Amino acid sequence: MRREDGRPGPEDDVEAVLDELYALPPSEFVARREERAARARTRRRAQDARRIHAARRPTLAGWAANLLRRSRPDEAERFLELGRALREAYATLDPSGLKELSAQRRRIVSEMSRQAAALAREAGHPLSDAVQRDVETTLRAVLADPEAAAVWEAGRVEGVLTPPSEFGADAVAAAPPRREPARARKPRTDPTAARKKKDEEAERRRAEREERAARAREEARAAEERLRGRRAARQEAAGALEEAEEREREAGERVAALEEQLAEARTERERAGAELGEARERDRAAAEELKGAEREAAAAARRAGRAEGHDA
């Protein structure tokens, strides 16, 4: 609807529509999405209609994560702040801060996932153990990945969000110890050739190790990116399959309803045909009786005429 001043009302705001959709249980998502998209098209907002129609139905785990974000806004903000602190600590490789934040992460992820399960159960959609694990994976991704955090913060998670591999549960163990600044050493005035050669060999091996480690990290990042792409494609295909199944079910229901109407119409036609036959039979009998009555009347008239002639 539009307000009296002509400006768009809440139902014309595509962002509000998307917020509404992702707050719904997955079973209600598709029908409401098509309703909102049709309304946008009716109001000649083709671009909004395309955005609304492109929204993907969330999995049960995605819906539970969105429900947690909306139902516990204060705790969600603290969770997002923890993620920013954890990512900063990991980027600066501060083992003491990282260890403390990682311990917080494990406790809070476990607690938040339990809250999501309780909220889903209260809403009539209890989570299985596998789905609750998917919620935990999504929450770990929110802490590790700024993009995942932005999706969850908006309350529009569609499926399982996965944390980057280099930000796993063993990040603390993987972080190298902080090195204290090396004390200034007095240069040797007369180093031996053997010592110099040994140092050069050690430096060469260190450089080779660092190069191999850098290549391994780059390959791991590339593999993780490919994995994300495959998961996104799989999730999109699964969403398309669910939508197609939903459309097929709705079409089947419409076909069944039409077939029932057709059967009723045929029965009604048969009944009307029988009544038509009976009416025709009654009409034929009435016509025969009318003819008989007309003949009798004519004969009576003739007899009356002859009787009057005899009397004259």
Average of pLDDT values for 89-97? 68
Residues 280-292: tens digit of each pLDDT = 989 989 998 998 9
Average of pLDDT values for 172-180? 39
Contact 17, 36 (CB under 8 A): yes
Average of pLDDT values for 177-183? 40
More confident residue, 3 or 141: 141
Give the closest residue to 115 by CA, choosing from 158, 162, 79, 147: 79
Residues 11-51: tens digit of each pLDDT = 568 999 999 999 999 999 999 999 999 999 999 999 999 99
Residues 6+ apart with CB under 8 A from 46: 40
Residues 6+ apart with CB under 8 A from 166: 217, 220, 221, 224
Banded model confidence at residue 9, pLDDT cuts 50, 70, 90: low
Rg (CA), the chain: 41
Rounded to whole angstroms, what are the CA distances from 225 to 34, 148, 162?
32, 14, 11
Does residue 194 have a pLDDT over 80?
no
Beta bridge partners of 8: 2
Banded model confidence at residue 122, pLDDT cuts 50, 70, 90: very high
Banded model confidence at residue 270, pLDDT cuts 50, 70, 90: confident
Beta bridge partners of 132: none
192/199 Cα distance (integer angstroms): 11
Contact 255, 247 (CB under 8 A): no
Q: Residues 151, 152, 157, 161: is their CA dihedral positive or negative?
A: positive
More confident residue, 232 or 125: 125
Residue 139's pLDDT is 95
pTM listed for this prediction: 0.51
Banded model confidence at residue 166, pLDDT cuts 50, 70, 90: low
Beta bridge partners of 2: 8
189/191 Cα distance (integer angstroms): 6
Does residue 174 have a pLDDT over 50?
no
More confident residue, 5 or 204: 204
275/259 Cα distance (integer angstroms): 24
Does residue 150 have a pLDDT over 90?
yes
Q: How many CB atoms lie within 10 A of CB 102?
A: 21
DSSP H or E run through 287:
helix 193-311
Residues 6+ apart with CB under 8 A from 125: 25, 60, 63, 64
Residues 6+ apart with CB under 8 A from 140: 105, 109, 163, 169
Contact 109, 136 (CB under 8 A): yes
Backbone angles phi and psi of 213, in degrees to 5: -65, -40
Average of per-residue pLDDT values in the chain = 81
Residue 257's pLDDT is 80
- Specify which of 55-69, 163-177, 256-270 reaches the highest per-range mean pLDDT: 55-69
